[in-house]
Structures are given as C-alpha cells and as structure tokens.
C-alpha cells in the first residue's frame, strides 16, 4: 500500500483489508402533508466512504505508536493519492476518522490501525494524439493569405466515468531543413514557431453537457508548444529552441477549464472535438517567410478517469 508514493511497510505497516466503498446519498423525497402522491426528488450521490485496516508492527508499544503516527501523517492536510494492494487504480482519499486497536500480552506485538476515508477512484490516464503526420505548406495558396486547417477528432470515454479535467497540448514538431531557407543557417535544425490562431470547440461545457464556447488561442511569438494543464487549467507556452525571452507572444481565452464530459453526458462513448486553425501568412521578406512556412502540428488530449 502506497500513500502519496510512500510504501507504508517503511513504518512496519501492512494493509490487511479494505471495506468496499459506501456511497453517501442525499435525497429530499417525501410524502408532504395534503398530497395524494409523494414528492420524488433526484438523489445527489456523494463521495464513497472507505475503511482500510492496517496492521502496524514494532519492537515495542512505543515504536508501534510512532509508526502509527507516521502512517497517518502520510495523508497530510489534503487528499492523498493512495495505491491499495489488490487494485490497479489509484484512489484520492481524505481522512475522516482514525481508530487504533492494540494486541499482545503487553500490547506490544501489533496494533490494527483503522483508516476511515472519503474519496473517489481514478483510472489509468488516457492519452490520445491526433494530426501529427500531415505537413502543411502555408504558402500553398500564396503569401497573401492566411492558411486555414480544420481537424475533427473523437475522444473515447471510459465507461462509468464522471466528468474530468482535460489536458490539451499543441506542438509544432516540424524541424526546419536545409532546403527550406536561403542562407539562413541559424534556422536549420530548429523547430519553427506555431504562429497562428486556434479555436477548440467541444471541450468547455457545463454539468449538463451544454457548450460554454470555444477555447481561443493566439500565438505569434517563439512558442513551439502551448499546453493547458489538466490538473489546473492553466495555459503555458514554451519553445523547443530554448528561447524564453518571448513567451508573452500568446494569449488563451477559455470560458471554463476544458473537460472530458464523462459517460453521464450527452455522448456516453466518445466526445467530439473540433480544432480550427488559421496560420498567419508568412511575411513578405524571404528570411522570415521561409522560417514560418511549414507546419506539422501535433494535438494531444489527456485525462484521468474519475469514478465516484
């Protein structure tokens, strides 16, 4: 058993058993006075409640107590990532109660630590990558036009999962070759910037699965990748060329953090997501025009399934 990545055996402890999660349910249904039929309400399903029994050993009663305190301290002040023996999933658990039972003639053989927790189960991370093969030539239609490109993808949804935060990473992975530029050797072998605008539809939704609007990204600096972190919803830009002095060259506008709608939404098997690109037309001067001419864009979506 691991708590926040630390094996509890370090403190002479071993998981004994886990009581299956009991759900908390709130339901306001009632038979109101004066009515012939009851008022039936939709139940609100809360977190699961878990009870974990852990055997704690030591050379003395004092040491067992110290080991017990150390195991409890692993939970910290917030929810802990817990890997239970016999389960492949990770559980996000918060302590709600602790009990300790002592055994042995001198109460110094072993103690049973009962951890009462509330939380939910997390499945294995789902990662899908789209659109990483096609080479786009933005000068295909001439240098006086922006180049438009659209991509529609289907993101699979794990059965039974609840809505989860969605991570989005956009990467320009094309590396400039010697034939792409004229007498500008400092560009060869480097990754060209994104240099364009992107609208992502189908990722910002309310609890009913209704769209709140698209994510809008503009990148005109040296960014070769932009990521919306799934854990925080924060957008960050980066450059594969190691240039960090122009990372203010992008903006991200989103009505809410992106989410995977879960199997309880309108589309229980997959989520349809649209990427709509407008790459800025290359500058008229040959040096900069060749530098941003080609694109090979990789779109990566990721989420961790949540089961409550």
| Rg value, the chain, Cα | 27
Q: pLDDT by residue (tens digit) across 139-174?
A: 776 655 678 888 999 998 888 888 889 999 999 888
Contact indicator for 149, 108 with CB cutoff of 8 Å = no
Residue 150 CB burial class (10 angstroms; 0-12, 13-18, ≥19): exposed
Q: pLDDT by residue (tens digit) across 247-290?
A: 566 889 999 999 988 876 555 688 999 999 998 876 666 555 56
Q: Indicate the average pLDDT of the chain.
A: 83
Residue-wise DSSP of 220-260? -SS-SEEEE-TTT--EEEE-TT---TTTTSEEEE-SS--EE
143 versus 33: which is more confidently predicted? 33
* Cβ density class 245-270: b for 16+ within 10 Å, e for less: eeeebbebebeebbbbbbbebeeeee
Domains and CATH numbers, the chain: 2-27+35-121 (2.40.30.200), 126-307 (no CATH)
Residue 159 CB burial class (10 angstroms; 0-12, 13-18, ≥19): exposed
Could you tell me the two tokens for 124?
Answer: 């294995």
Contact indicator for 269, 154 with CB cutoff of 8 Å = no
């Amino acid at each position: 058993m691991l708590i926040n990545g630390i094996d509890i055996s370090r403190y002479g402890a071993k998981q004994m058993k886990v009581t299956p999660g009991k759900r908390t349910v709130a339901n306001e249904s009632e038979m109101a006075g004066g009515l012939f039929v009851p008022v039936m309400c939709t139940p609100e399903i809360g977190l699961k409640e878990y009870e974990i029994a852990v055997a704690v050993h030591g050379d003395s009663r004092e040491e067992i107590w110290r080991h017990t305190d150390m195991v409890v301290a692993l939970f910290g002040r917030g929810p802990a990532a817990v890997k239970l023996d016999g389960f492949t999933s990770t559980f996000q658990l918060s302590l709600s109660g602790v009990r300790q039972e002592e055994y042995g003639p001198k109460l110094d053989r072993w103690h049973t630590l009962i951890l009462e927790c509330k939380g939910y189960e997390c499945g294995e991370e789902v990662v899908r990558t789209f659109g990483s093969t096609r080479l786009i030539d933005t000068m295909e239609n001439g240098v006086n036009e922006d180049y438009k490109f659209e991509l529609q993808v289907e993101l699979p949804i794990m059965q039974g999962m609840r809505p989860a935060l969605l991570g989005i990473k956009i990467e320009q992975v094309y590396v400039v070759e010697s034939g792409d530029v004229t007498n500008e050797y400092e560009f060869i072998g480097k990754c060209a910037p994104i240099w364009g605008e992107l609208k992502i539809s189908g990722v910002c939704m309310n609890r009913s699965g209704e769209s709140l609007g698209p994510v809008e990204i503009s990148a005109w600096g040296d960014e070769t990748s932009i990521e919306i972190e799934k854990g925080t919803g924060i957008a960050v830009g980066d450059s594969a060329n190691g240039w960090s002095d122009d990372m203010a060259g992008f903006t991200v506008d989103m009505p809410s953090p992106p989410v995977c709608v879960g199997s309880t939404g309108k589309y229980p098997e997959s989520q349809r997501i649209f990427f709509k690109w407008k790459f800025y037309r290359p500058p008229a001067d040959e040096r900069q025009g060749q530098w941003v001419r080609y694109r090979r864009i990789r779109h990566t979506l990721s989420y961790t399934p949540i089961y409550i």
